[in-house]
Amino acid sequence: MTCLKLILISFSLFAIFESCDHHGQRITISDGTNLTEMERRGDIQYSLDSTEIKSISNDGYISYRKNEKFFRAERDTNGTVYMEIYNNGKLVDLDSVSKAFLSGAIKDLAQRGMGRISKDSIN
């Protein structure tokens, strides 16, 4: 009977933990040469093809660092997703190099479960 109670308590705690998607998540990957860090808070939704961030919940954010390149996306007060991209600690414009980095980063984040794919069609 005690074992059954422990199983029920464990299952209940797991269900509560999984139902709350506003906790943070962090992944760090290093192969000795390259360092990739991903961090998120809140609900992050990607487009069906994982090429863009469709939405971020209130007080949510997502960040991605690969060696010297870094980006962070947040939601502004109007609900619009905005991003900043940095290279060696300096804010950079969205050029072809930073677009390629951003595209790869968003796909990597989506593939590693740092948010979810939106079921809505791409507009």
Q: Average pLDDT in the 38-59 region?
A: 93
Give pTM, 2 decimals. 0.76
Q: Average pLDDT in the 82-93 region?
A: 95
For position 13, what pLDDT does the model report?
45
Q: How far apart are CA 112 and CA 105, in angstroms?
A: 11
**Strand order across the 116-117 sheet:** 53-56, 44-46, 116-117
For position 6, what pLDDT does the model report?
55
12-44 per-position pLDDT tens digit:
444 444 445 446 899 999 999 999 999 999 999
The partner residues of 35 in beta bridges, in order of sequence, read: 30
For position 30, what pLDDT does the model report?
95
- Strand, helix or coil at 70? strand
Does residue 59 carry a pLDDT above 60? Answer: yes
- Residue 91 CB-half CA count within 13 A: 3
